[in-house]
Amino acid sequence: MDKILIFTVLKHYYKEKRILSRSELVKMVQALGSHLWAQCLTWESFVYLGAMIHSSCSSDPEIRRHSAMTRSAMQSLDRHLWRSRITNKTKLHLYRVFTLPIGLMLYGSECWAINKADIQRIDAVDQWCLRRVPDTHWHDCVRNADIRRITNQPPLSSIIKSRHLTFFGDLA
């Protein structure tokens, strides 16, 4: 039998909710032969429901992906929002409401397995974003602690840790 015909038949049986007999299924698999198994594809990583699934089972690629998306979003809003005449309070509120939770840095963070290097990477991206809110540049020589005090924003790693504990509390 032709491979396309077999898949069409299987699709038809699935739509009709008809159960194939064992002999029919064996005939179809034999007709496909070794090509069925030889054409099995593997991926190193893929995105499923907004989360990156990586073959290493590490959260590092997912954290890097979210960091890149966050930086891109902040840079796209740089001229129109972060460098505008809007008050810092309103900018900070927009940062907390739109940038953090909606798919950028906190989406799916409850499931990340985080190590020390990941925490430093997350806090570096968070600090970079927070410097955009009061329109502070690196050559202004403003310390990170001063930016945290001005924005009154806790480190993103502590927010993620609290979300881990909340998620664990829901499971336990």
Mean pLDDT of 84-106: 78
Distance separating alpha carbons of residues 1 and 169, to the nearest angstrom: 54
Does 77 lie in the same domain as 19?
A: no
Does 51 lie in the same domain as 34?
A: no
Model-wide pTM > 0.75: no
Does 87 lie in the same domain as 34?
A: no
Does 111 lie in the same domain as 165?
A: yes
Does 52 lie in the same domain as 30?
A: no
Owning domain of residue 138: 46-171
Give, in order, the Cα–Cα distances in Å from 19 to each of 7, 9, 13, 26, 146: 15, 12, 7, 13, 67
Higher pLDDT: 162 or 107? It is 162
